[in-house]
Amino acid sequence: MRSALSSIGLAACFFVGGCQRTVEFERQTITIRHDPEADTVDVRLVHRGVFTPLPAAMTEDDQELLNDAVAAIERIASGMREFMTADGSALISIDEMAAKDAEEVDGTSIADPLCALRLEIYPLVHLIDHAAFVDDELRLGFVQHFEIRPWSEFERRTNELIGRAVITHDEAIRAGTSQRSGSSDVEGDALRVAKARAGTPWFAIRDGQWQLDLAMSHAEYADWVRLVLDPHVAVASPGFASLVTEVLASSRRVAHDDEGLELDVGVAGEPIRLNIQNRMNEYDHRLCEAVRAHGIELRNAAELADLLGDE
């Protein structure tokens, strides 16, 4: 699955260059609601037990990592459109990416062929509400409520972006300026390029049902199955393993054929809720303490019942 997602995934082509790993979470709840009449999708992210992975004896590099983490929490608490990936592996800043892409535009000349499409998508993601907080065990957390509107435009433009990214990557491979991603193979790349050129969607909401269409070869699918069943993945990458488990558990249909993997996720017309578990060792309070020392406002989780929702 990783090989296919690395080729077509939204994160790979939408948020290129915007990732940094400074914080992790113990638990994350993602709630996604589609309102077809309003043409919106609401995304609520609740992160609990947020920390920075630090050794007991910190070096100067570790202190710099902690400082970077405090700066990230400060940006999130101030209302920047910055969030943690679903598997807890990175922070992504839409605002920083938008500023970077805007700098790429020089009159009518665009250095990155995908830049113009991304600049059309960024304004469709709105931060409605947010808060950084501490719970009754003094663990750091934050909650963000995003609204994507109009969803139909986001879906259309993002599918086009993914397709163009696949074709651009294939052209770079053929030109010798890039290499094949991860464990993807020639057959899988050919399937993705054919899908991109046909213009069929990679994801969509149809009749209230979330649908994913991940073009992949039989060999890539076999690798994905082995990855899902590998107990070492749950140890080495618990957030990723938990994410895959939650998506599969929420799927009403999982089908693989000669053209790839299709998933129908969630119940038509109902919100999707993913409860993702990451590292659950003894909580390290150093990031929370550093955030407090920096003077960043932290709310009491008990006061945020409406914003936190029924996680």
Tens digits of residue pLDDT in 105-118: 765 555 677 888 89
Distance in Å from the first CA to the final CA of the chain: 27
pLDDT at res. 16: 41
Full-model pTM: 0.88
Q: Is the dihedral of CA 176, 178, 183, 187 positive or negative?
A: negative
Quickly tell me which residue has 């090989």 as its tokens.
Answer: 3
Candidates 34, 6, 31; CA nearest to 246 is: 31
Instruction: Report the pLDDT value the prediction gives residue 175, as an integer from 0 to 100.
Output: 87
Cis bond upstream, residue 201 (ω within 30) = no
DSSP state of 287: H
CA distance 206 to 23: 35
Q: Which among 141, 147, 146 has a CA at the least distance from the CA of 303?
A: 141
Distance of alpha carbon 269 from alpha carbon 271, whole angstroms:
7
Instruction: Give me the percent of the chain exceeding a pLDDT of 90.
Output: 58
Residue 253 CB-density burial (10 A; 0-12 exposed, 13-18 middle, 19+ buried): exposed
pLDDT of 12 > 60? The answer is no
Report the DSSP pairing between strands 140-148 and 125-134: antiparallel
pLDDT in tens, 239-286: 888 888 899 899 989 998 988 889 999 988 899 999 999 876 789 999
pLDDT at residue 311 in the model = 66
196 contacts 114 by C-beta, under 8 angstroms: no
Helix, strand, coil tally for the chain in percent (to 5): 45, 25, 30
Report the C-alpha gap between 74 and 32 in whole angstroms.
25
Q: Model confidence over 129-176: pLDDT tens digits?
A: 999 999 999 999 999 999 999 999 999 999 999 999 999 989 988 888
Provide the residue type at 208 as one letter. G
- Residue indicated by tokens 């590099």: 61
pLDDT surpassing 60 at residue 17: no
Backbone angles phi and psi of 68, in degrees to 5: -65, -40
Helix (H) or strand (E) holding 12: helix 10-14
Most confident of the ranges 43-52, 228-237, 277-286: 43-52
CA angle 66, 279, 2 (to 5 degrees): 100
Query: Residue 132, Cα to own-chain centre: how many angstroms?
Result: 19
Question: What pLDDT shows up at residue 3?
Answer: 43
In this prediction, residue 224 carries a pLDDT of 83
Kindly tell me if the per-residue pLDDT of 1 is higher than 70.
Answer: no
Q: How far apart are CA 265 and CA 274, in angstroms?
A: 11
Token pair, residue 277, equals 């578990």
Q: Which residues contact 149 (CB under 8 A, 6 or more apart)?
A: 38, 39, 40, 41, 124, 126
Band (pLDDT 50/70/90 cuts) for residue 9 is very low
Joined together, the tokens standing for residue 202 give 């990679």
